[in-house]
Amino acid sequence: MSEKALVLIVDDSPTNLQVLASCVKNCHRIKVATSGEQCLQIAQASPQPDLILLDVEMPGMNGYEVCEQLKASSLTASIPVIFVTALQGDEDERRGLELGAVDYITKPIRPAIVIARVNTHITLKLQRDKLNKMAFYDQLTGLYNRHYLIDVATKKVARSLRHHYDLWVLMIDIDHFKQINDNYGHPMGDDILKKVAEVLVLDNRTEDLAARFGGEEFVVMFDPSDDSDAVIKAQRILKKISKLKPHNISVTVSIGMAKVVAEDGNFEGVLKRADQALYRAKDNGRNRLEI
């Protein structure tokens, strides 16, 4: 059996809605929509459905148009769609599958088959979600991982160079973290990594990026209104972390910061300069920032 999920059932006929709902509702939570337009609205809102059962023939937008729009938006593209329709022709089915639907069920429906197919696709969807989460996020801190950072940061740097707006990179490294591990144990070290990560997340605006670069090193990227705004943000992070005192342990970080310039060429270039600045911050006494 698949896990309990949220299924959106879309059909203009109340009778069809009822029949489909009675199939699915024992296994899953359901939402219903009576038009294509309503389906798009519900699909975008949180919590998003894990699967959509979609009628084809409806007044207003038909199911094919709805499916096309769902697949065109990054917000809804990963929601599996199963057409449930009276259209029996090969051509109709081919069209539905080509538009990105995972399955095509014809009416009159056979409840046991509907449930089996729904469960199969929900299992696959939830597995895919889990894999995506593992691919993008650091398990310990919940921040983006290095792999995702490099992917997104590369694009961010290219965009900032093309459109000539400022983009800053902070390389943040916990001071004497090895001693913290040695003195208080690795599990305590892990907890401190989480607490430091929380500060970075809370300080961020939604468009900023915070990632765990590795071990006890973090990268933050953001586009401030001006250079002093960038320094203020870095100082604020320094101060917030030094005031944390998790478990009454004194924890500080050093920050190296760099603004993307054309000579950097790419993310690797600007990251190298942020890393050099970090070395200076360490050399100059730690718990400080250098540009």
Binding mask 207-236 for Mg ion (x = CB under 5 A): ---------xx-------------------
Of the candidates 105, 114, 52, the one whose C-alpha atom is nearest the C-alpha of residue 78 is 52
**Residue 98 is among the residues annotated as catalytic for this protein:** no
CA distance 86 to 40: 22
Task: Give whichever of 7 and 33 is closer to Mg ion, judged by the CB atom.
Answer: 33
* Residue 11, helix vs strand vs coil: coil
Q: How far is the CB of 278 from ligand GH3 (least distance, A)?
A: 9
Question: Does 174 interact with ligand GH3 (rule: CB under 6 A)?
Answer: yes
Identify any residues that bridge with 52 across adjacent strands, giving them in sequence order: 8, 81
Q: Is the dihedral of CA 213, 218, 224, 227 positive or negative?
A: negative
Span near Mg ion by CB under 5 A; candidates 24-32, 95-103, 139-147, 174-182: 174-182
Do residues 151 and 221 touch, judged by C-beta distance below 8 A? no
CA distance 49 to 217: 36
User: Active site residue: 3, 57, 216, 290, which one?
Assistant: 216
Task: Give whichever of 135 and 140 is closer to Mg ion, judged by the CB atom.
Answer: 140
CA distance 216 to 176: 10
Contact residue for Mg ion among 3, 57, 227, 268 (CB under 5 A) = 57
Span near Mg ion by CB under 5 A; candidates 33-41, 56-64, 237-245, 259-267: 56-64
Question: Does 65 interact with Mg ion (rule: CB under 5 A)?
Answer: no
Would you please indicate which residues are annotated as catalytic (active-site) residues? 216
